[in-house]
Chains A and B, each alone.
Chain A
Amino acid sequence: DAGVIQSPRHEVTEMGQEVTLRCKPISGHNSLFWYRQTMMRGLELLIYFNNNVPIDDSGMPEDRFSAKMPNASFSTLKIQPSEPRDSAVYFCASSPQGGLYGYTFGSGTRLTVV
């Protein structure tokens, strides 16, 4: 199994541009999570899905952030328009439903907004 796959690994964009981050979860995992990591705040949950349905998006900081999961093997996190304070590492993780045995994380996307 290739694990959770995220793309791109690094993204540098100008303020105001649209950014799309992508995630392919592990096959058979029906829960998917988007986290953001910064030095100041650590790992923060943005949104999570069960069986492709968004369950809780209360961690999404603003309306500029949106996430979709059109099928069991793909999810996107979009920021439009991007701002410098969005600079962080964004992680996608997946688990069997309930996450009893922990989550498997991807390698992350390091986003820099200049």
Chain B
Amino acid sequence: EDQVTQSPEALRLQEGESSSLNCSYTVSGLRGLFWYRQDPGKGPEFLFTLYSAGEEKEKERLKATLTKKESFLHITAPKPEDSATYLCAVQTIGNTPLVFGKGTRLSVIA
């Protein structure tokens, strides 16, 4: 059974304090790993897709990396507006629907 585990469950940072969120996965065959951002009262918003180990994607203060067992979402010099829940999901070969982790709730304090 495909599994996605995210850590930590919650993270509180001071503005400017860089950190990383972890997503570890167990799948039969990875087709893609997805990162989403979810704000309170809204649906998840797509950030990145990573397809193979060693791949990196960047968007503003966020950088996602992928290994054969896990992915990291690095947040550099975060701002309060980066506060949200970050969700990781995997899709396996065969175009199966995305399986999501429970997310990391990030709070960035000014």
Give the B-binding residues of A (Cβ under 8 A). 4, 33, 35, 41-43, 45, 48, 56, 91, 93, 97-108
Interface residues of B in 28-48 (CB under 8 A from A): 31-32, 34, 36, 41-46
By Cβ-Cβ distance, the 10 closest A-B pairs, closest first, are A105-B43, A42-B102, A102-B46, A43-B100, A98-B95, A105-B44, A45-B97, A48-B97, A107-B43, A102-B34
Interchain CA distance A16-B45 in the complex, whole Å? 34
Q: In chain B, what residue has the closest Cβ to A41?
A: B102
State whether B101 touches A42 (Cβ < 8 A): yes
Interchain CA distance A98-B34 in the complex, whole Å? 14
A-B contact number at CB 8 A: 51
- Set of chain B residues within 8 Å of A102, measured between Cβ atoms: 34, 36, 46, 49, 98
Q: In chain A, what residue has the closest Cβ to B46?
A: A102
Q: In chain B, what residue has the closest Cβ to A47?
A: B97
- Set of chain B residues within 8 Å of A35, measured between Cβ atoms: 100
Give the A-binding residues of B (Cβ under 8 A). 31-32, 34, 36, 41-46, 49, 87, 89, 91, 95, 97-103
**Chain B nearest CB: distance from A46 CB in Å?**
10
State whether B43 touches A108 (Cβ < 8 A): yes
Interchain CA distance A97-B95 in the complex, whole Å? 9
Q: In chain B, what residue has the closest Cβ to A59?
A: B97
State whether B87 touches A107 (Cβ < 8 A): no
Interchain CA distance A43-B45 in the complex, whole Å? 14
Interchain CA distance A45-B100 in the complex, whole Å? 9
